[in-house]
Amino acid sequence: MLDIKFVRENPDAVKENIRKKFQDAKLPLVDEVIELDGKYRKCLQEAENLKAQRNKLSKANGPLFGQLKKCTDEAKKEELQAQIDANNAAVKADAEQLAALDTEKDQMAARIQEIMYTIPNMIDPSVPIGPDDTHNVEAQRFGEPVVPDFPIPYHTEIMESFDGIDMDAAGRVAGNGFYYLLGNIARLHEAVLAYARDFMISKGFTYVIPPFMMHGNVVQGVMSFPEMDAMMYKIEGEDLYLIGTSEHTMIGRFIDQTIDEAKLPLTLTSYSPCFRKEKGAHGIEERGIYRIHQFEKQEMIVVCRPEESNDWYEKLWRYSVELFQNMEIPVRQLVCCSGDLADLKVKSCDIEAWSPRQQKYFEVCSCSNLGDAQARRLHIRVKGADGKSYLAHTLNNTCVAPPRMLIAFLENHLQADGSVTIPKVLQPYMGGLEVMVPNHK
């Protein structure tokens, strides 16, 4: 969310940013919010003037009451009483006018906030301009993508060869978009999470297990309304939502807090299950466990000073690359274009893993710099050494999300005989197992 003062002083820049995000329908909102802001500030001033006038009249009645009490002249008494009555009537009128102004002010404030929640954040100059994800730009590749000389089965077929997945039973229990993992496949799933946890701890991050639900005001603070509608499950009858990613409650932890600058940066890595509606139609390649309603994830979170956020952005996505390289999976960095950025994001990139079966890359991690947008919504401030406060910057990145990561892992480590090799970094988490041998082919 932008600062209303910034919008007021830079309307043309804000409009140009909206155009770059291909959201021209939002252009009238800039003029509307500036006009509303002017009326709101005028209303505030009128309210302050009325309060001052009311206080002046109320104070004036004190001496008049004293004079009335001592006065013996009937004509003078009537004059004093008339003046007191007039002052009381004026105070009452001011109170009624003030109440009306307060109602008007509250209505304008609510609409201003609604608009400010809708106007997108200013994108970084480095962001490529394009209307949708087809205009995302490949930046770098890491590792050599290999296409083996034997066919790669669909990932659920690989898992079934190890008796490692039961989607039919999950469908009977919970419906589509759920699964049971079993045996070595389930063990591999947990091994990846455990390795990712220890990898991030080795980078100096603090391991956290956060709440898996959050209040509505936290939801509004960490994400845009379209994202919320597409993702969030609400608990019926309660002000609670299931998290779609632990980033949300991790950032929400600092709502209405002022952090000592000396404690920054806060570098945190969190584990959680994630719950998502995943609205919309999905293609054939999104069967199986590619797009599901429940999964587990290890996340990276940074809360830092504004001048440090770009450096942390570079560090975070490179951690993902290093993690996947350690697991011998080729990846690439894909820079997200303006139209593919959620409204709160300053810039973002995806780390995509190589799929030998599809002979293309697919998303496994997403790294984002949100600037001060989440901090402004959630009132997360930093107290500097000079005693002044300012808004923190927040960043997040997927460390690893095993469902999709498992697809990349199984395809890249599958052998012609149906076995799956285990890279050295994961072997300690698999009880020293070097190769997974299928139960049947």
Domains of the chain by start residue, with CATH? 4-118 (1.10.287), 133-436 (3.30.930.10)
Q: For residue 62, what pLDDT is reported? A: 56
Residue among 299, 68, 69 at smallest CA distance from 193:
299
Q: What is the pLDDT of residue 284?
A: 42
Model pLDDT for residues 128-163, shown as the tens digit of each residue: 999 999 999 999 999 999 999 999 999 999 999 999
Closest to 210 measured CA to CA, from 161, 182, 243: 243
The DSSP secondary structure of 314-356, one letter per residue, reads HHHHHHHHHHHHHTT--EEEEEPPGGGS-TT-SEEEEEEEEET
In this prediction, residue 69 carries a pLDDT of: 61
Please report the pLDDT score of residue 47 as a whole number: 74
Cross-strand bridge partners of residue 397 = 300, 367
For residue 378, the model assigns a pLDDT of 97
Buried b (16+ CB within 10 A) or exposed e, 232-261: bbeeeeeebbbbbbbbbbbbbbbbeeebeb
Tell me the per-residue pLDDT of 424-438, one tens digit each, with 9 for 90 and over: 999 999 999 999 999
pLDDT of 224: 77
State if pTM tops 0.75: yes
Q: Which residues contact 393 (CB under 8 A, 6 or more apart)?
A: 303, 304, 305, 306, 308, 309, 369, 370, 371, 372, 375
Residue 413 φ/ψ region, left for φ over 0, alpha for ψ in the -120 to 50 degree band, beta for the rest: alpha
CB 273 within 8 A of CB 213: no
Amino acid identity for residue 14 in this structure: V
Contact predicate 155/411, CB 8 Å = yes
User: Residue-wise over 116-145: b if at least 16 C-beta within 10 A, else e?
Assistant: bebbbbbbbeebbebeeeeebeeeeebbeb
User: Taking a C-beta distance cutoff of 8 angstroms, is the pair 405, 413 a contact?
Assistant: no
DSSP secondary-structure letter at 24? Answer: G
Backbone φ and ψ of 150, nearest 5°: -135, 155
Q: 53-67, 253-267, 296-310, 371-385: which range is least confident on average?
A: 53-67
Q: Which two tokens stand for residue 152?
A: 């790669």
Question: Quick check: 298 pLDDT over 70?
Answer: yes
Q: Give DSSP secondary structure letters for 186-208.
A: HHHHHHHHHHHHHHHHHTTPEEE
**Residue range 288-295: mean pLDDT, rounded:** 87
Q: Are 33 and 115 in contact (CB under 8 A)?
A: yes
